[in-house]
Amino acid sequence: MKFARVIVGMNNPETDRVFDYRIPEKFEDIAIQGMRVIVPFGKKNTKTEGYILSLSNVSEISQEKLKDLLEILDEGKPIFTPAMLRLAEWMKDKYFCTLNQCLQAIMPSGIRTKSVWYASLTDRKDIPKCGKMEQTVLDALADMGGAAELTEMEKIFGRGCKSILQQLQKKNIISLKQRLLRSDFKIEKRFFSINFNATLLENAMKKAQQDKRLQGQKMLFDLLLEKGECSMEEIKGKGINDSPVKTLLAKGMIQERREEKKRAVFSLDDYEKTSPFHPTSQQANALAVIEKQLIIPVKKPILLHGITGSGKTEIYMQSIAKVLAMGKQAVVLVPEISLTPQMMERFISRFGAAVSITHSRLSAGERLDQWKKAREGEVSVIIGPRSALFMPFSNLGMIIVDEVHENSYISDITPKYDAREAAKKLAEDTGAVLIMGSATPDLVTYHKATMREYLLLELTERTGGGFLPQMHIVDMRKELEEGNRSSFSRVLQQEIAKNLEKGEQTMLFLNRRGFATFVSCRSCGHVMRCRDCNISYTYHAKENALMCHYCGKTVENPKTCPVCGSKYIRYFGTGTQKIEDEARRLFPKAKILRMDLDTTSGKGSHNRILEAFRHGQADILVGTQMIAKGHDFPNVSLVGIMAADTSLNTGSFYASENTFQLITQAGGRAGRVNDTGRVYVQTYQPKHYAITHAAKQDYKGFYGEEILLRYMMGYPPFGAFFSVLVSGQNAQETVLASEGLGRLFQEGNQDGNFFVMGPVAAVLSKFRGEFRQRILIQGKEEEALAQFVVRIVEKAKKNTKKEIYFNLTPNPMNIV
Ligand code: ADP
Ligand code: ZN
Ligand code: ZN
């Protein structure tokens, strides 16, 4: 006898463990690891979706308690490869969630079996006496025609409705039945042919010949006799309708064959085949290193650091060609936002039918079909955002992570995995080569490369000698001094006017609006910041106070600048809307497009705006940094960075790094085509090293200063943070719970290995009706820190009410 060890698809930490099921004889040769199954679960044997983690010949569960697997889904094809099951296990430990949540993130979305409960009246006549509530529910059910979905009833009577219905079921007045809804998104093509084994075939044919009313049948027979096998479309094309097909099929005179048709997400006809470029010498060096990694057994991740336009994408493609020649497959991860039509075109033109694409703008069916093509070996390269990592390839040879500095690689829903970390893990596990590419790598990644943990490949020249734009820093303090109070410096106004005259395009960037508002002096540029943490204070309007969201220190909001005495103290938080309005006032004749969270909420809308701009339908594009990536705008010759300060003062130690990246990437937008590209960076802190180095496009200069600061503060890569968010519906209880947790942290930290900050109110102190308090813990080493935090939080949970939640985030990007 064989047993399947199954994890059930329920989001409950208490059921997140392996359950043994007996494999009935009919499934004995079919059941394998990674399959999706239906099992009976719990006291009521509710039908539940589950996943086979492994098979076993023994089980510790006693015979009479063991239940049978009910069903095997997906036509007996596993949906998790062994590598994906291992990755799920790793994610579970790394991101503090359930294994089921990890499996859900890995499996194709939308296919999960949904369970629906129906309540219906039985035909029992002698209805016994019922309670008042029971009677009300019964009456409602009768009003609804005698049957209804449980969720409908719950909408009327609330959650308690289920137990009332169960009582009524015990009395045999109603019955509660479960129905499973499956979605396989399958499109099938139907083919028909004559069943020559049918005994009465000759008779039927003769009858169709003679009887005028059976004209349709006659035509169908004639067609199939001539062609052998025909698809439904062909049959309809001959003017034959459904009815003769149905009749002859029912009588067994014809037979049907179904073939799955996987959706295509592009048409090859739209693309012209391209061949690889002859590599430049820098590219050739990089390719030689990558090629060597492909054949040696113990590999190191590769960081490909190259300025924009230095030919990184070309290196990816030539490396992938080598992977394909070895009979292996490759995954290319890109931030969703840079998966542009141009990007897709480059890969499709090079690899043709061997490549496919997945992204969130596709339908669930389209995405599932690309996933199946990967599983069945029909494609060997998949390009997509972070979830493309979970493609069920059988022999993965390479994972490429483009724009590796992008934080959108971190999932914003549970499990909050970082696709870059997961990619590294998967590469290690499968022996694939990992290539991370960026023009502006994050400090931690670059530091690892300098420490030889990664191989560092650098490209310093633009291929084809493209032009770098001229970068200018504009001192906004001077503008104020000389009487200009607008958000546009005088020089930027002049340059925009010039561009309008020449018919060239302009992009105006504003940092994505953060949650935090900071306070700075417009006369001298001084920013109010916490001395202990070197983090800008966040302004809280209600208390008119400034608070450090790392350590919680709160100070009064000054009326004049503590450095120069100026009264031009300003709360920053300029929005794109305001910049757009001002631009319209300054340039009434210009056509202006705006792109930010407000204008891009619809699916695909951001691509629409960008394509409109690309095709010259506007002179000026105003937007948040989402317009900085992946798009080629041949006619853009001017870029204005409206307020570099907003990203310098986000209340996070990543602020300098992010500002450097924003300015450098934005600079890459201008001057792709000719030498007139100009970038103007407006700031109140023109001497800040993130700005001065970005203006020189000097990554190493910036890295040198920033890494020193990180070292002095013990910030990553020389230390790690861990954030614990305590939340609950009741303000007082939440505060008490967070204070209790804080005490436990202090007690557990007697030898001072860690640095505990808080609890403090979170930046978003009330969110979706819940109050939020946060504790930040800093430590020297990531793993020891995580262990410490988990141990203390587990302890705290035991003494805390169920209504209080603890949310753990290692390496928080935003402290909110
Ligand atoms: P990156 O990904 O680093 O921004 P790309 O790969 O997009 O750079 O290269 C920039 C441009 O140079 C592209 O138009 C690309 O087709 C072209 N290119 C890349 N490599 C070569 C080469 N070896 N010879 C000529 N052109 C190249
Ligand atoms: Zn000042
Ligand atoms: Zn502080």
Residue 721 Cα to ligand 3 midpoint, Å, equals: 14
Q: Quick one: average pLDDT of 90-105?
A: 94
Ligand with the closest atom to the CA of 534: 3
Ligand with the closest atom to the CA of 520: 2
Ligand with the closest atom to the CA of 538: 3
For residue 740 and ligand 1, the question of a CB distance below 6 A is answered with no
Q: Quick one: average pLDDT of 687-716?
A: 94
pLDDT tens column, 770-815: 899 999 999 999 999 999 999 999 999 998 887 899 999 888 876 6
Q: How many angstroms separate the CA atoms of 142 and 123, rounded?
A: 12
Residue found under tokens 């790690």:
720
Q: How many angstroms separate the CA atoms of 688 and 11, rounded?
A: 47
For residue 312 and ligand 1, the question of a CB distance below 6 A is answered with yes
Extract the tokens encoding 585. Answer: 């006032």
What pLDDT is stored for residue 546 in this prediction?
85
Residue 630 Cα to ligand 1 midpoint, Å, equals: 13
Q: Quick one: average pLDDT of 287-293?
A: 98
Q: Please, what is the end-to-end C-alpha distance for the chain in angstroms?
A: 53
**Ligand 1 atom 15: the closest Cα is on which residue?**
311
Ligand with the closest atom to the CA of 521: 2
Residue 356 Cα to ligand 3 midpoint, Å, equals: 48
Residue 559 Cα to ligand 2 midpoint, Å, equals: 11
For residue 306 and ligand 1, the question of a CB distance below 6 A is answered with yes
* pLDDT-wise least confident of 246-255, 382-391, 806-815: 806-815
What pLDDT is stored for residue 394 in this prediction?
95
Catalogue the long-range contacts made by 779-785 (C-beta closer than 8 Å, 24 or more residues apart).
779/719, 779/720, 779/722, 779/753, 779/754, 779/755, 780/714, 780/718, 780/719, 780/720, 780/753, 781/719, 781/720, 782/720, 782/810, 782/811, 784/753, 785/720, 785/722, 785/754, 785/810
pLDDT band, very low/low/confident/very high, at 630 (cuts 50, 70, 90): low
Residue 279 Cα to ligand 2 midpoint, Å, equals: 52
**Ligand 1 atom 23: the closest Cα is on which residue?**
279
Q: Quick one: average pLDDT of 282-311?
A: 95
Name the strand (E) or helix (H) holding 767. Answer: strand 755-767
Residue 311 Cα to ligand 1 midpoint, Å, equals: 4
Q: Quick one: average pLDDT of 187-215?
A: 91
Identify whether the C-beta of residue 115 lies closer than 8 Å to the C-beta of residue 177.
Answer: no
Q: How many angstroms separate the CA atoms of 191 and 259, rounded?
A: 8
For residue 438 and ligand 1, the question of a CB distance below 6 A is answered with no
Identify whether the C-beta of residue 181 lies closer than 8 Å to the C-beta of residue 114.
Answer: yes
State whether residue 495 is helix, strand or coil: helix
Q: Return the amino acid letter for 673.
A: V
Peptide bond into 415 cis (omega under 30): yes
Which atom in ligand 1 lies closest to the alpha carbon of residue 439?
3
**Ligand 1 atom 14: the closest Cα is on which residue?**
309
Ligand with the closest atom to the CA of 555: 3
Q: How many angstroms separate the CA atoms of 545 and 764, rounded?
A: 15
Helix, strand, coil percent content, the chain, rounded in steps of 5:
40, 25, 40
pLDDT tens column, 639-677: 999 988 877 877 788 889 989 998 888 877 776 556 778
Query: Hey, CA dihedral for 772, 778, 783, 788, is it positive or negative?
Result: negative
Pocket test for ligand 1, best of 463, 629, 632, 633 (most atoms within 8 A of CB): 463
For residue 442 and ligand 1, the question of a CB distance below 6 A is answered with no
pLDDT tens column, 443-456: 999 999 999 999 99
For residue 284 and ligand 1, the question of a CB distance below 6 A is answered with no
Q: Quick one: average pLDDT of 582-587?
A: 94
Neighbours of ion ligand 2 (CB under 5 A): 521, 523-524, 526, 561, 563-564, 566
What pLDDT is stored for residue 672 in this prediction?
58
Residue 334 Cα to ligand 3 midpoint, Å, equals: 35
Q: How many angstroms separate the CA atoms of 97 and 786, rounded?
A: 14
Q: Quick one: average pLDDT of 290-305?
A: 97
Is it the case that residue 465 has pLDDT exceeding 70?
A: no
**Ligand 1 atom 9: the closest Cα is on which residue?**
311
DSSP 181: E
pLDDT tens column, 67-80: 999 999 999 999 99
For residue 283 and ligand 1, the question of a CB distance below 6 A is answered with yes
Q: Quick one: average pLDDT of 430-457?
A: 96
Which atom in ligand 1 lies closest to the alpha carbon of residue 306?
3
What pLDDT is stored for residue 599 in this prediction?
65
Bridge partners of residue 473, in order along the sequence = 681
pLDDT band, very low/low/confident/very high, at 371 (cuts 50, 70, 90): very high
Is it the case that residue 4 has pLDDT exceeding 80?
A: yes
Residue 525 Cα to ligand 2 midpoint, Å, equals: 6
Residue 577 Cα to ligand 2 midpoint, Å, equals: 27
For residue 346 and ligand 1, the question of a CB distance below 6 A is answered with no
For residue 437 and ligand 1, the question of a CB distance below 6 A is answered with no
Ligand with the closest atom to the CA of 526: 2
The secondary structure of 194-236 as a DSSP string is E-TT-TTHHHHHHHHHH-GGGHHHHHHHHHHHHHSEEEHHHHH
Instruction: Kindly compute the dihedral angle of the four CA atoms of residues 140, 141, 142, 144, in this order, to the nearest 10 degrees.
Output: 90
Q: Quick one: average pLDDT of 167-174?
A: 89
Residue 715 Cα to ligand 1 midpoint, Å, equals: 36
Residue 673 Cα to ligand 1 midpoint, Å, equals: 13
Is it the case that residue 579 has pLDDT exceeding 90?
A: no
pLDDT mean across residues, the chain: 90
Ligand with the closest atom to the CA of 304: 1
For residue 113 and ligand 1, the question of a CB distance below 6 A is answered with no
Which atom in ligand 1 lies closest to the alpha carbon of residue 280?
23
Q: How far is CA 608 from the centre of its chain?
A: 20
Identify whether the C-beta of residue 240 lies closer than 8 Å to the C-beta of residue 220.
Answer: yes
Residue 690 Cα to ligand 2 midpoint, Å, equals: 20
Which atom in ligand 1 lies closest to the alpha carbon of residue 279?
23
The sheet carrying 620-623 orders its strands as 470-475, 678-683, 636-641, 505-509, 620-623, 592-595
H helix intervals, 352-418: 364-375
For residue 309 and ligand 1, the question of a CB distance below 6 A is answered with yes
Residue 496 Cα to ligand 2 midpoint, Å, equals: 30
For residue 349 and ligand 1, the question of a CB distance below 6 A is answered with no
Residue 761 Cα to ligand 2 midpoint, Å, equals: 29
For residue 630 and ligand 1, the question of a CB distance below 6 A is answered with no
* pLDDT more than 90, % of the chain: 60
| pTM reported for the whole predicted model | 0.87
Is it the case that residue 259 has pLDDT exceeding 70?
A: yes
State whether residue 625 is helix, strand or coil: helix
State whether residue 774 is helix, strand or coil: strand
Residue 468 Cα to ligand 1 midpoint, Å, equals: 14
For residue 115 and ligand 1, the question of a CB distance below 6 A is answered with no
**Ligand 1 atom 10: the closest Cα is on which residue?**
309
Is it the case that residue 62 has pLDDT exceeding 80?
A: yes
pLDDT tens column, 315-333: 999 999 999 999 999 999 9
What pLDDT is stored for residue 666 in this prediction?
80
Q: How buried is 147 (Cβ within 10 angstroms: 0-12 exposed, 13-18 middle, 19+ buried)?
A: middle
**Ligand 1 atom 27: the closest Cα is on which residue?**
463
Residue 761 Cα to ligand 3 midpoint, Å, equals: 13
Pocket test for ligand 1, best of 313, 315, 345, 400 (most atoms within 8 A of CB): 313
Residue 742 Cα to ligand 3 midpoint, Å, equals: 17
**Ligand 1 atom 11: the closest Cα is on which residue?**
309
For residue 571 and ligand 1, the question of a CB distance below 6 A is answered with no
pLDDT band, very low/low/confident/very high, at 429 (cuts 50, 70, 90): very high
Which atom in ligand 1 lies closest to the alpha carbon of residue 310?
3
Backbone angles phi, psi at 504, to 5 degrees: -100, 160
For residue 440 and ligand 1, the question of a CB distance below 6 A is answered with no
pLDDT band, very low/low/confident/very high, at 572 (cuts 50, 70, 90): low
Backbone angles phi, psi at 481, to 5 degrees: -55, -35
pLDDT band, very low/low/confident/very high, at 514 (cuts 50, 70, 90): very low
Which atom in ligand 1 lies closest to the alpha carbon of residue 315?
6
Which atom in ligand 1 lies closest to the alpha carbon of residue 307?
3
